[in-house]
Structure 1
Amino acid sequence: MRVLHVITGLAAGGAETQLRHLLRHSAADAEVIALTNPGAVADALRADGVPVSCVDMRGNRDLTALPRLVGRIRAGRFDVVHTHLYRAMLFGRLAARLAGVRHVVATEHSLAATTIEGRPRDRAGVRALYLAAERLGRLTVAVSERVAGAMVEWGVPAERIRVVPNGIDLDAFAFDGAARAEARARLGLAPEAFVVGAVGRLVPTKRFDVLVRALPAMPGAVLLIAGEGPLRTTLAELAARLGVRERVLLAGEVDDMRGMLSAVDVLGSPSTEETFGLAILEALAAGLPTAYACCPALDGLPAGAAPRARRADPTPEAFAAALTALRGDPAREVPPAARHYDIARAAAAIDALHSELVTGARAAA
């Protein structure tokens, strides 16, 4: 089966990395087109043997990219077009229909209670365009029950939603002692330092300022944030005002996430707008204890599924206390929660969904 995935960009990010891991376990003959910014994940996909191209879209209103996208879809003779992220959902669904593809599906990664892809979702026209584009597809995959609920609340009919949780590639994030030593040496971190890790775009919804503000109550701790975004300067200035600038390391986009997670001792996630909690599950796959404010992936699982994942109020005081309490746990055991979200299971579910669309026969869950 020929499947084309259309995504807004391929810089390092949760949805982008998830797509890469899914395709590593998919049985489909897949290709990927990015509308813009074919970054680190594009290189990783090509290294995996997945064809990747870009239509060089210059902005949200660059309609000249649409005929280029239509032409590439038509030339590829794809059975299914699968879109990811808001801009790709708008342009990818429309282009697929114009190219004559009957089976169009999307994955909603980022619709939360008040935001979509980290921006306020009540901006003028955003909802209307979303709902208009949704009708161009057959259905939309939600990465969690929380996302499915947000979609229904926004106006998407429940019967047009299918929940397929994100998956974790356990091998890709497994703890590696040699990688820990190499990453610490490269980042200038002392072997004995207590390092708090954080992963995500530097945007307001991630609330990384909570972790910076927690540092004064954690003498000697170092905060390592992997991610890039518009708040980089703001976070650095906050750290300087609090007198902890030398203990905050803004690492930017990190290609070697396994090395980064091996290098840190605990992960902090103060975001309250998570749609799945992928960074938290990746940390658990690396055997890391974790303090978090919101993680839909853990909601509903048995209490013992993630014994070293601790929920905390999204305040500096609560996170300082939670991270300090987790400091003395050197074990690197992978909890059942991480194994529950096995990437092979997620990829098989997506493959079955594509087959269902083409053949009309719904596979057994």
Structure 2
Amino acid sequence: MLPPSRAQLGLFFILLFPANIIGLWWAVGSPLVMEPNSICRKMKRLAGKHAELCQTEPEIVNEVSKGARLGLRECQYQFRSRRWNCTNHNKYFGKILQQDIRETAFVYAVTAAGVIHAVTQACSMGELLQCSCEVIRSRFPPHPIAGAGSEASAWEWGGCGDDVEFGYEKSRQFMDARQKKGKSDIRTLIDLHNNEAGRLALKNHMRTECKCHGLSGSCTLTTCWKKMPHFREVGDQLLERFNGAIKVMGGNDGKTLVPVGHSIKPPDQQDLIYSADSPDFCNANRKTGSLGTRGRACNSTAMDLGGCDLLCCGRGHREEAVVFQENCLCRFHWCCVVQCKKCTVHKEVSLCL
């Protein structure tokens, strides 16, 4: 199994880390200013489709960067109570990306989903010249909307629907371009599969929104359009796929992936897949990318993932008094200012030993 190249890791760091982080050392050991334009300025380190996109569509690359950061934030939210909490510590994060574990599968999927979301949203907002709202195509009528009643005698597709097909294509071009065309090693097949699973988590869950038109609240005409799901919904779906991720191995033909275990169903396009078991992430280990859980805040009364028993890996926890300032006694003054006082808050927190 081949690890991602240094150039691939470098691209991932440029895409994922926030724009205000300066001087990070990425996989090739070069300090970069982490802003969207850095992707194209440093693209000489890479080649192929990425360089072409930078030359012909730099504004798309800017949205790709936003989408990758959106994916990282969602990863940190979804894993906030887990032993590995999607930390953006670059030295450790790079080690995670070099492994074919379930956590890496989620990172790739949520990043691909973030890219399609950002590009599609930019189209709908009129921020890109290459696209706008969805091109209306002939479709079957949507389901009747609540409250329309029998008066809903006509409908039409309209509004500003999200052109998810354009966002899907740009996400595919950019994310999948990291893999060499025609390669069929296990790592490449797994990464491409998880990229697609992330895109489908958004594309296959578009929702229909409708609005009634007519006098006196009547609904003589209904206008409907397609909208993307909220990205938190996409993250929730991918977390479910993460929890049910399927371990795979290479098939005999060297071009397919088969599940490990005779009773395991073959993965479909929306499943997340991996080929190596994850470390337990209990202790710091730079080799595996684990920061450990010592000092992490936990819930001493919970029995789930965020509970001290699981998060602290059986080492126990200690209680610590924390004092901080927060806004309180806020009042609205016409017009239009909210003034708050600062209150001192004392709180007991549980920290892993």
TM-score range, shorter chain: under 0.3
TM-score (norm 1): 0.26
**Structure with the larger helix share:** 1
Please tell me whether Structure 1 or Structure 2 has the larger radius of gyration of its CA atoms. Answer: 2
